[in-house]
Amino acid sequence: MHAMKHRHSRFTVIPRLAAAIVAGTLLAGCMAMDFAESEAPQLSRATVAEMSRKKMKPESPVLVRIFKQESELEVWKVDASGRYALFKTYPMCRWSGKLGPKTRAGDRQAPEGFYHVSAGMLNPKSQYYAAFNLGYPNRLESALGYTGDALMVHGACSSSGCYAMTDKGVGEIYAIVQGALRGGQGRFQVQAFPFRMTATNMARHSNDPSMPFWRTMKEGYDAFEFTRRQPKVSLCGGRYVFNAEFADGEPTDPLAACPAAKPIDDALVAKLDAERKKVDTALAASGSSPVSAYTDGGMHPSFRNILKRQGADRMAAQISGTKYPISRPEAALADPYEKFGF
């Protein structure tokens, strides 16, 4: 967690680094941006042009998906079809903890769950360049007694419970979500998963104690996969409930038994039931031991390769205008999932 550090705004920009970023020479696809402390990252002409090619508008709604195991963050936007389409996948530089939900302050866990981010949760002056707060703990997590705060998606490559995207990555993401919020989207949904929730991946982690929670999470994952529409998230029975209509209105107590409800989309129910059976079969057939978790989080292979070649100090200077070092680089180099091709 970076509870205190995110409340400060002063940071040092390396002039040569800033010039390289503005010139677009530091990393491929780097957006031009002004590092002035008083300004938030803005959409580049290249990003707007890419949206146009994909029949999206800067003000159209946005949705974010995060995958720990793959160390990737996806940005989705509503296109001309009226449904969400993938805009871009961003490699994640660092996350900490292991697969599984965050339950207490100080556990170094990056959260897993469904969150909703409003304009007031964006911080253009984060000490990690720019950031937005996930809103952990959400109402369900608070009711379950989970603790912690200030869990962010931010720049640099340092994590103690947050998702670190590098300055370049978070700058572009920040500008995209800010455009959607300014365009009228009241808040955008963030779905944070342990991995891409295929039946195969579920089977690989069949013995993990988080499996009951993950099976609930998969219902929301599948609802979006099948419909490309943002799932409606309700809270009752100590769990997430997706795309349900309740006769007496939305449940107010996340821990109380779920009242009578009916699904919003009957056709979707049939698809979800088929996927549930597919997972049941995969889990029953899985006789392997669970995949060992990272010793402390993960890093996208593209960044791990840079870390191997250049070392932690040079990499930190390359990817961020802040002075924050790579968090626990020796742990970032460990990759128990490499043999599975992740």
Sign of CA dihedral 90, 140, 147, 3: positive
Q: What is the rounded CA–CA span in Å between residue 316 and residue 12?
A: 13
Q: How far is CA 278 from CA 129, 160, 194, 220, in A?
A: 43, 36, 19, 16
Q: How many CB atoms lie within 10 A of CB 312?
A: 17
Q: What positions carry a catalytic annotation?
A: 154, 162
CA 11 from chain center: how many Å?
25
Q: What is the rounded CA–CA span in Å between residue 41 and residue 35?
A: 8
Using an 8 Å Cβ cutoff, are 210 and 102 in contact? Answer: no
Partner residues linked to 77 by β-bridges: 62, 85
Of 117, 24, 36, 109, whose CA–CA distance to 75 is shortest? 117
Of 25, 3, 9, 162, whose CA–CA distance to 92 is shortest? 162
Beta strands in 39-169 (DSSP E): 62-67, 72-78, 84-91, 94-95, 113-118, 122-123, 131-133, 152-154, 163-164
Coil, strand, or helix at residue 244? strand
Q: What is the rounded CA–CA span in Å between residue 9 and residue 83?
A: 37
